[in-house]
Amino acid sequence: MGLSPDNNLNLLLSVLNSARQELIINIYQFESPEIAAAVIDRINAGVNVELLVEAEPFGQMSAQGKETLTIISRAMRAKGNPRNHLFVMKKPASENARRRFRWNHAKYIIADQHLSLISSENFSRNGHPISGQVGNRGWDITMNDAKVAADLRAIFDADCDRKFGDVVELSGKEPALEIPLRSPNPSRARKVAAIPIGRGEAKAAELILSPRSLDGIVQLIRSARRNLEIEEMSLPAKWRSPHIAENPIVTELIRAAQRGVEVRVLLNDDKVWSQPDPSPIRIGRTETPLSTAPKKGNEATVELLRTVATSERLPLSAKIIDVQAAEITYIHNKGILVDGQLAFVGSINGTQNSVVNNREVAILLESPDAAEYFGAAFDFDWGRSNMEKREINSLFLVVGKIPATVDQFLE
């Protein structure tokens, strides 16, 4: 079990480095030079490597992402192993064909048909930061289970099927930037003590997939009897097209509190995405909660939950993360904990896109060990976030004109 920013890069690298025969990877964004180096090492060692990456992430693939895929595809070509493949998912060339998923947003690894890793985090400097540096809050889980690995492999093979026209293979001959893979500018050092990698057992494991993940999430929330914690990058109060409606996940959280479950909801600060001016953000700048503008995104959800909790006297609490106090860039997590017994880890946000339109992968573990481990991280984040004033994220040096609710479209 691993956490970003505490230790999840080391956990992920241990999975990659363990592969001796086969390595299967599906990832939304791949920009990390450390992870790329480990993958190339396995290619050069003769391990069969298959990789699926989203070619059209929100905004477009970064230059770092293009460099990373170019170097990996050229390493595959140089090795000459016919079992190495680098696939990308994109809009089909044919006007009569459509993508199967809005985005391929899953994040998982399978090593040697038995060891799997499922994560909330991309392969980026924020998602899997170098130990001791600031990064996102996210959760990773590894499982030494042949059935989970086989089920993930079946999903991977189906998603890489090229008959639909939305998956192409890179050959290593594509034109690209002719520069070495570079490390992004480093984050600042994190002052709080890192939580170590955790280990434990699970009684049962169930994959939850998007699209069609809503039933599994609703059933999980409805199973809660004593307490429920949810930490999300994005949990809008309403869903969008084809019609505006209440977010069914938010509705189920309220219903859980109405039947006596103690519910705690911790959401990302949308203001890390948008500021009123394009000037650099400085450490210590504080957001003043005096605006009369209607709240949007996660703020609107927190306001709704607090209002319902107060009016109905429910055991329901909601906060926006204080990124400065928690020493993270932002919450990128999509985690749920139930009754100290169940842990939900993966890529599924609380948005309509994520639940209904994307390819997402999460795993539900019946594991007191996992619930305790991730619960300790949740309690840390919860304790570092107050109810009113919070610091703006200071790690983005220049902020563009991105809408405050960008996360609803991003994932």
**What kind and span of H or E run contains 232?**
strand 227-232
Does residue 337 have a pLDDT over 60? Answer: yes
User: Whole-prediction pTM value?
Assistant: 0.88
- Residue 261, φ and ψ in degrees, nearest 5: -75, 135
Cα distance between residue 365 and residue 112, in whole Å: 21
Instruction: Give the 3-state secondary structure of residue 173.
Output: coil
- CATH match of 2-169 with 3.40.1550.10: no
Extract the tokens encoding 239.
Answer: 């869903």
| C-alpha 21 chain-centroid distance | 27
pLDDT value, residue 58: 86
Query: CB–CB of 166/89 below 8 Å?
Result: yes
Number of H helices, E strands in the chain: 11, 19
pLDDT over 60 (residue 410): no
Q: Which tokens hold the place of 284?
A: 């210590």
Residue pLDDT, tens place only, 282-331: 333 333 333 444 567 999 999 999 999 999 999 999 999 999 999 999 99
Q: What is the pLDDT of residues 41-94, one digit of tens each?
A: 999 999 999 999 999 998 789 999 999 999 999 999 999 999 999 999 999 888
Least reliable range by pLDDT among 27-31, 201-205, 400-404? 400-404
Of 121, 124, 103, 97, nearest to 58 by C-alpha is 103
Evaluate whether 50 touches 108 at the Cβ level (below 8 Å).
no
Q: Cα angle at 158 between 204 and 234, to 5 degrees? A: 65
Q: Is 378 left (phi over 0), alpha (psi -120 to 50) or beta?
A: alpha
Topology alike, domains 2-169 and 204-410: yes
Domain extents in the chain: 2-169, 204-410
Fold of 204-410: Endonuclease; Chain A (3.30.870)
Q: Where are the alpha helices (DSSP H) in 117-192?
A: 146-159
Strands 108-111 and 22-27, bridge-based pairing: antiparallel
